[in-house]
Structure 1
Amino acid sequence: MDFKGVIKKVLPANSGTKNGKSWISQDFVIEEVGQRYNQSIVFNVFGQERIDSFQLAEGLMVTVQLDFNTNEWQGKFYNRVTCFNVIHEGAKTTQQTQFANTGSQSTPQQAAPQQAVPQQQGQSDDLPF
């Protein structure tokens, strides 16, 4: 699911070790803008490589691509929202960084930049989107 909004809060990173391997994850709060009732979502980015490549900071307008998971523990259900891609808004070219899982290792893949279509002079675009 794509969610466009402004990063409102960068929460402290969590880290640990499991089976002799260290891990790190960080939560972010994003708030939708331009709607009558703006919605907010807390999402998680797992892995130092992704945290560094996504370059998320408070106040940035981004589109995050999210994945939703549900876990059950002792009869209670919990949601987990993870981010697998970030598209930075407001740049002349759209930058996308995607990760493809190959075994237990993630490798970044750069998508080709998209160019904006120039608008003809004297023509206004009054579409609401």
Structure 2
Amino acid sequence: MDITGTIRNVLPPKTGEGKNGPWKKQEVILETEGKYPKNICFTFWGDKAESPLFRNGSAVKISFDLESREFNGRWYTDAKGWKVEPAGGEAPQISEDNTIYHDESNAPTDADDLPF
């Protein structure tokens, strides 16, 4: 499966030692495109956890697999990314406070303007 969006947040990388040796995990939050955008957490393992595209505001295309598993009667679903590449088109605008604006018409013009 593939999905395109903007990286909203890059979480701190996690590392550890398992029975098969050391491991590394990187989680990123992707905001999807469209009228009703969604935030999805993708997990990248091993060498795939190191990508220069993992930056807030990067427009990317992520290839991933979904996997669910049961534990104590509850089901948990992971979105495991296996490839990340730049998305086509323009990069979104990012304000100084790292708020992402997909086009200039939604960006605030003055800090004193109230949204209501």
Q: Calculate the TM-score normalised by the size of structure 1.
A: 0.64
What is the identity, as a one-letter code, of the residue corresponding to 2:11? L
Contact 2:53–2:60 (8 Å) recurs in 1: no
1:50 pairs with one of 41, 45, 48:
48
How do 1:1-129 and structure 2 match up within 5 A? 1-19=1-19, 21-33=21-33, 35-47=34-46, 49-53=47-51, 55-90=53-88
Q: Could you report, residue by residue, the CA deviation over 1:65-116 in whole angstroms, capped at 9, with x for unpaired residues?
A: 110000111111000110011121248xxxxxxxxxxxxxxxxxxxxxxxxx
Bigger relative CO (Cα 8 Å, ≥ 6 apart): 2
- Whichever of the two has the greater Rg, that structure is 1
- 5+ residue gaps in structure 2? 90-116
Q: Quote the Cα distance in structure 1 between the aligned partners of 2:49 and 2:66.
A: 18
Q: Is the contact between residue 11 and residue 27 of structure 2 (CA under 8 Å) also seen in structure 1? A: yes
Partners of 1:28 and 1:8 in 2: CA distance: 8
Local SS of the residue matching 2:37: coil
Identity %: 27
Equivalent residue, structure 2, for 1:111: none
- Describe the shift of the 1:40–1:73 C-alpha distance in structure 2 as closer, same or farther (beyond 3 A): same
Q: For 1:36, what is the secondary structure of its paired residue?
A: coil
| 1:54 to partner: Cα distance | 5.7
1:20-67 Cα deviation digits (max 9, x unpaired)? 61101011000012x1111121010001x2122463111100010110
Cα distance in 2 between the residues matched to 1:8 and 1:23? 24
Q: Indicate conservation of the 8 Å contact 1:42/1:81, yes or no.
A: yes
2:12 is paired with a residue whose SS is coil
Query: Taking structure 2 as the reference length, what is the TM-score of the superposition?
Result: 0.70
Q: Any gaps of 5 or more consecutive residues in structure 1?
A: 92-129
